[in-house]
Structure 1
Amino acid sequence: MKRYITSILLGILSCCSVKVMAQWEDAPTMGVFTREELSMTDCAFEKNAPAVILLDRARSYPGTNNELVTDRVVRIKILNDAGLDYANIKIRYYAESDFEHISGIDGVVLTPVEGGGGMDKFTLDKKNIYRSKINAKIGEVTFAMPGVKKGSVIEYRYISTMKHYGGLDDWHFQSFLPTLRSTYHLTLINNSEFAYRVQKSEELNMILKPEPNKGTIYFEMNNVAGLKNEPYMDSRQDFIQKVSFQLAAYGSYMGRSKYMNSWDEVSRELLNHNSFGAQLNKNLDGAKAIITAAALNRTKEEQLSALFNHVRNHFQWNGFYGMYAGGNGVKSAWNSKTGSCGDINLSLVNLLAEAGFEVKPILVAERGYKKVNTSYPFLDQFNKVAAYVTLNNRTYLLDATDGATPFGMLPESLLNTTAFVVDRKKGTLVTLQRPGEGYVNIYNITASLQPDMVASGKGYVVSKGYSALNRMAARVPGEENFIRKVLVKAYTTLKVDSLSLEEKVKPDTVQLTQRFRFATPLEHSGEYFLLNPMPLSGLDKNPFTDEKRFSDINFGATQVFSFNYHLTLNDAVTIESLPRNLRLKLPGNELEFTRRVLREGNIISINFRFEIQLPYYSYQDYDMVKSFYKQMYEYLDEQIVLKKKG
């Protein structure tokens, strides 16, 4: 399946009077499965799938008081033992202020009788349905379908009731599992208009049936392959087959109003919103004293840094994302010293504006969330708000919920993303990129071959930029975790100890120096001994081995790996062969690998350098990138071959 995504934006309008049907005329009978469903042993278009979604069907319609009611039916066939976990069902819902309620849960399983001769039927016991709180906003209903084995067919149903249509979520036609049939039917409330956007592969067909006179629309997709996570993949949301909704217009006794049909309307709506724009002119307690203290710094950049660091040290982030302040506003969050992303970063905008900086709120979408489609002013494309400052012909994006990224350095999660600067005069879409230094690792390894054929010595590594930030994060559980995850990785024969770390944080960058001792035994076959310096290079295993790829490749920023290895041999061995000198590159030097090998007496020096100059590749370039990595890792696997004398 190709990754290529097409998007369609249309408007649908409810009629003045809608007759609500709470049941589907074509709803399948509970627990009655077809012969094909019962006898299926694999998925025709994804042979290795552990399970397959036979049906995922939902219908949303207004309740008696215009609540958003959704009935859902899911059927899954368990194809092998690896799919048994898909019988453990989790349904998450919006629990805050009792916004959403899950009811009408029912389930049934048909399982083949051992030895053949029919099916056993199991029904879900209501006593085995559990409810819990994930956090203050999200609740979860969990239950395990009974009697499930390889070959079982399971079905479960439930009803979601939300207080209003503001909770209308995306409908996903795709998941980790392949899906035979996925359908969604939406009925709108009176006097409303919703925009919808379809995201799908050009190779997949969609059945789309709008009925404007009835205020309904129907979507259906069939035979959709599962989407797995891929190395250097941005959010699954960027590639998954789905339909998204956003309120486009609403009506009342005062007339009809349009709602965010352009980016300028997004700015106006947000700046007029009580939990956004109205929070930007608050007098935070103690702000004047904080600003006065920051002004003692010599330069404006230092003053800006001081205010930014004060806010992120002042607050405890509660883990909640979003762009709006909480119900009690930023002043309450400021005084309590805890809050959501909206509370914290809108407080930062307040403080910087009072200090005289040119600052605006900016909506951002982290790479793990979704990619912004600039053609459509959908607010749900963003998951955070931050502060955007212009100073001395330079811009700074400041996120006070990020406690690790140094002032002036773009957060790693926002590399190569699109953001929206909220401004009453003219909102602006901007691309966020990291100029200059991205990921840098420079290795210097000095080793000696011992009489017992163990290569041991010292390592000196300098990591800069995002490489340093990532390695600094690995220190938190302790030294052993750092050694295991950063230095040893999958190379279990490599032993590392005597680790020391030295951190230097400066505006715009960070550096981490690592010193350690190591020992690694040589592999041997008869009288020959093999040594591969690869485990000490800092490179992971080849990430691009899959035959096909569905998503684009996003390395985030430029990357440099430099490896200098010096090995002193003992007098008991001779050199049989060494790795070759070589240079491997893509056109334009976007990816480049060079290696030089030198022998001087009993000292072998191996120097290689790997650079990624272009951080982003389309899925269409995957074969080219895959071929480059395949050749590079074949070269990296070349061994130093030694032979014992005599």
Structure 2
Amino acid sequence: MKQIPLYFLLLTNLILFSQSNFNSESYKITLEDLETNTFKKDSTANAIIVYKYGNSFVDRSDYDLRTEVKQKIKILNKEGFNKATVTIHLYNNGNKKERVEQIIATTYNLEDGNITTTRLLKKDIFREKYDENHSFVKFTLPNIKEGSIITYSYKLISPFMFNYKGWDFQSDIPTLYNEYRTSIPANWHYNIKLVGDKKLTINTSEVKKNCLEYRGGSAGCVNSVYAMKDIPAFIEEDYMTSKSNYLARVEYELQTFKSFDGSVYNYAKTWKTVDHEFKTDGDVGRQLRKPINIKDILPLEIINENDLLKKAKAIYSYVQENYTWNGDYNIFKDVSIKDLIKNKSGNVSSINILLHNLLKESNINVKPVLLSTRENGFATKIFPVISEFNYLITQVTINDEIYYLDATDSYLNFDDIPFRCLNGYGRLMDFKNGSEWVDIKPSKASNVFYKVELHLNENETISGSITSKRTGYHALNYKKSYYQNSDAYVEKLENKFPYLDISDFEVTSDGVTSLDFKESYRIDYNYEDTGDYIYLNPFFVKFFNENPFKLQERSYPIDFGYKDTYFYLFKFHLDDDTYTMVESPKDKNIALPNNSGRITFSTKVLGDFINIMLKISFNKAIYEAEYYPYLKEFMSKIVDIQTNSLILLKKK
């Protein structure tokens, strides 16, 4: 540990950075870096990336891709200590390996008026193997305290020029300045993609001649500088797809390589090329082309069905009921219809290709569709990247109607696909006419309906019934919960309402593949006796227990996956003349911009009946980020209505 007098760092930096809390455009440490322990722009931040720098170029001696990385981070509190642990991921393929060199890491603290430094020791750098093709180098900076500044730098050497180093500009903590420099020889041509909605502060490129030489030949380089300033933290919240869709970063996809002898190698493919490769592929393509004898698999009553829609539904149900998904998303490997039929279990491709082939052999128009799931991120539309797909479903066309099918889930209805597949679009693999993008959207609405009917009895007890109906994805989740363990489901329901006694519970829907989930049960309400008054909250069931939107602002869409509606009807009957209603909730009618959602809440008294109605409509499956403050307030109103809508009854 070394002590450095404060004036040593102050002399060169005090004037330059006196107008800024942090020295955010330099790797150097200043006094203000250490003295500043708050971040006004984001009071929730536990740490800040003050400065991040990368520089990627091709080495003139061995033609490896080298990337220099530097980072300076401010630790604001103990919750930010985890930023002192750094993991560097490395890739290897056979004899070719990425490696990291010259790791230098230092912790700076302000102690008794002096800056102390603590350096990372080599013995505290660990290298571990993850799998056959991946390993990582890991280290934790020493002597971390609240207010510390940490810096670390290293050099990454890669022999894989096809995989030019991408760069993240955004993190889960705020970033003040982030710069990435690249030097790409003209031999390599990449598709360059900027991901996310953040704009570059600096975006410049220039050509430098003769930057690379090989056996008497030479090539120029395109030298680029990309930088962003004041990048907010990316905080994950409910109702979103993969964060990889939105994190600000730059990515590279090798398109062509031209060697010094003039030979040109094409790496980026057109969809026409991909279609041909997919069709002739020895794994997925071969299984799709493989003929199948439906008489060896399907019952005669299905084979003999003449109505194509009924036949398609029967084939779909048969595959659902007889084959189990093993949970594997690896759609391009280990695909075997033969093994699936033998073992009754297989991956996504095996199950849905079996479904595809059975439909095809039954003279039903069917095609495979490649997807990237919500957790996997969006598939690139600009150019084909086949590795970005991790799921396969089927498209069926009958009487000009289009249906999307996935037989991996025995609870799904015909023309439903799992929620994980609701990621906007997929690639329809039409081997005759060429593939095309298709929109993937739910075919049916998803709704929740509750009806609560209560009576105030002569003995001043309150009893009645609750009936509910769910459709679409709301029904799917409840069907799984109930039919997998009905006893546990009922027990959970009883524990959910400690002030209710539940009896005569009944499910009235038609089983696991029913289009809806309907249940009913009787209740006895154990209210608090306050003498002459009864306070009654009509919302025994709450659609939202709390507001899921808590961020100050959100820069990415609110993706519910599907449109839905919630409806709650409460009917209260005063059986005698003992009590009268003296206070009721106020009516509300609240709309989202462009009529994209609405809350309707009303209370009406008709004779001895008190009727309360709440309807919540979300008219869009996906809301742009601009809707966030409105949705946040919208949800707050819903929670408030469900929590604070009280009926006050008074003895006559």
Q: CA RMSD in A?
A: 4.5
- 1:195, CA displacement in angstroms? 0.5
Q: TM-score, normalised by structure 1?
A: 0.77
Change (3 A) 1:37 1:409: same
Change (3 A) 1:288 1:79: farther
Does structure 2 conserve the Cα–Cα contact (< 8 Å) formed by 1:43 and 1:49?
yes
Q: Could you tell me which residue of structure 1 aligns to residue 43 of structure 2?
A: 47
Please list, as runs of the form range in 1=range in 2, the aligned pairs for 1:451-466 lying within 5 A after superposition.
457-466=464-473
Q: Which amino acid letter does the alignment assign opposite residue 314 of structure 1?
A: Y
- Indicate the structure (1 or 2) with the bigger Cα radius of gyration: 2
Q: Secondary structure at the match of 2:474?
A: helix
Measured in 1, the distance between the counterparts of 2:142 and 2:528 equals 50
Change (3 A) 1:171 1:347: farther
| Residue 622 (structure 2) pairs with residue 613 (structure 1) | no
Measured in 2, the distance between the counterparts of 1:315 and 1:28 equals 56
- For 1:85, which of 79, 82, 87 is the aligned residue? 82
- For 2:171, which of 170, 175, 193 is the aligned residue? 175
- 1:196, CA displacement in angstroms? 0.8
Does structure 1 conserve the Cα–Cα contact (< 8 Å) formed by 2:69 and 2:154?
yes
Q: Which amino acid letter does the alignment assign opposite residue 79 of structure 2?
A: A
Q: Secondary structure at the match of 1:214?
A: strand
**1:181-226 deviations in Å (ceiling 9; x for gaps):** 3334455588432111113436552434364722654433232111
Greater shift in the superposed pair: 271-280 or 438-447: 271-280
Q: Could you tell me which residue of structure 1 aligns to residue 478 of structure 2?
A: 471
Q: Could you tell me which residue of structure 1 aligns to residue 6 of structure 2?
A: none
Q: Could you tell me which residue of structure 1 aligns to residue 312 of structure 2?
A: 304
Please list, as runs of the form range in 1=range in 2, the aligned pairs for 1:240-389 lying within 5 A after superposition.
240-251=247-258, 255-260=263-268, 262-271=270-279, 273-274=281-282, 276-282=284-290, 289-290=296-297, 295-297=303-305, 299-308=307-316, 313-314=322-323, 316-321=325-330, 323-326=331-334, 340-342=347-349, 345-346=352-353, 348-350=355-357, 352-371=359-378, 374-379=381-386, 382-389=389-396
Does structure 2 conserve the Cα–Cα contact (< 8 Å) formed by 1:388 and 1:395?
yes
Measured in 1, the distance between the counterparts of 2:69 and 2:587 equals 61
| Residue 230 (structure 2) pairs with residue 223 (structure 1) | yes
| Residue 430 (structure 2) pairs with residue 423 (structure 1) | yes
| Residue 585 (structure 2) pairs with residue 576 (structure 1) | no
Q: Could you tell me which residue of structure 1 aligns to residue 599 of structure 2?
A: 593
Change (3 A) 1:395 1:95: farther
Segments of 5+ residues of structure 2 without an aligned counterpart are 1-24, 209-219
- For 2:418, which of 384, 402, 411 is the aligned residue? 411
Change (3 A) 1:612 1:200: closer
Measured in 2, the distance between the counterparts of 1:40 and 1:576 equals 57
Q: Which amino acid letter does the alignment assign opposite residue 320 of structure 1?
A: Y
Q: Secondary structure at the match of 2:190?
A: strand
- For 1:236, which of 238, 243, 246 is the aligned residue? 243
Q: Could you tell me which residue of structure 2 aligns to residue 12 of structure 1?
A: none
- 1:290, CA displacement in angstroms? 2.1
Q: Secondary structure at the match of 1:325?
A: coil
Q: State the number of aligned residues.
A: 610
Q: Could you tell me which residue of structure 2 aligns to residue 553 of structure 1?
A: 558
Q: Could you tell me which residue of structure 2 aligns to residue 3 of structure 1?
A: none
Please list, as runs of the form range in 1=range in 2, the aligned pairs for 1:507-518 lying within 5 A after superposition.
510-516=515-521
- 1:269, CA displacement in angstroms? 4.9
Q: Secondary structure at the match of 1:536?
A: coil
Does structure 2 conserve the Cα–Cα contact (< 8 Å) formed by 1:259 and 1:265?
no
Does structure 2 conserve the Cα–Cα contact (< 8 Å) formed by 1:474 and 1:485?
no
Change (3 A) 1:402 1:643: closer
**1:6-41 deviations in Å (ceiling 9; x for gaps):** xxxxxxxxxxxxxxxxxxxxx998xx7444433331
> What's the % identity of the aligned pairs?
23
- 1:243, CA displacement in angstroms? 1.5
- 1:67, CA displacement in angstroms? 6.8
Q: TM-score, normalised by structure 2?
A: 0.76
Change (3 A) 1:617 1:71: same
Does structure 2 conserve the Cα–Cα contact (< 8 Å) formed by 1:106 and 1:124?
no
Q: Which amino acid letter does the alignment assign opposite residue 462 of structure 1?
A: K
Q: Could you tell me which residue of structure 2 aligns to residue 123 of structure 1?
A: 120
| Residue 610 (structure 2) pairs with residue 604 (structure 1) | yes
Does structure 1 conserve the Cα–Cα contact (< 8 Å) formed by 2:557 and 2:623?
yes
Change (3 A) 1:364 1:316: closer
Segments of 5+ residues of structure 1 without an aligned counterpart are 1-26
Q: Could you tell me which residue of structure 1 aligns to residue 193 of structure 2?
A: 197
- 1:257, CA displacement in angstroms? 4.7
Does structure 2 conserve the Cα–Cα contact (< 8 Å) formed by 1:523 and 1:531?
no
Does structure 2 conserve the Cα–Cα contact (< 8 Å) formed by 1:279 and 1:329?
yes
| Residue 432 (structure 2) pairs with residue 432 (structure 1) | no
Measured in 1, the distance between the counterparts of 2:135 and 2:462 equals 54
Q: Could you tell me which residue of structure 2 aligns to residue 4 of structure 1?
A: none
Q: Which amino acid letter does the alignment assign opposite residue 80 of structure 2?
A: G
Measured in 2, the distance between the counterparts of 1:480 and 1:210 equals 69
Q: Which amino acid letter does the alignment assign opposite residue 256 of structure 2?
A: A
Does structure 2 conserve the Cα–Cα contact (< 8 Å) formed by 1:109 and 1:148?
no
Q: Secondary structure at the match of 1:247?
A: strand
Q: Which amino acid letter does the alignment assign opposite residue 249 of structure 1?
A: T
Measured in 1, the distance between the counterparts of 2:116 and 2:614 equals 62
Q: Could you tell me which residue of structure 2 aligns to residue 639 of structure 1?
A: 645
Does structure 1 conserve the Cα–Cα contact (< 8 Å) formed by 2:51 and 2:176?
yes
Tell me: higher relative CO, structure 1 or 2? Use CA pairs within 8 A at least 6 residues apart: 1
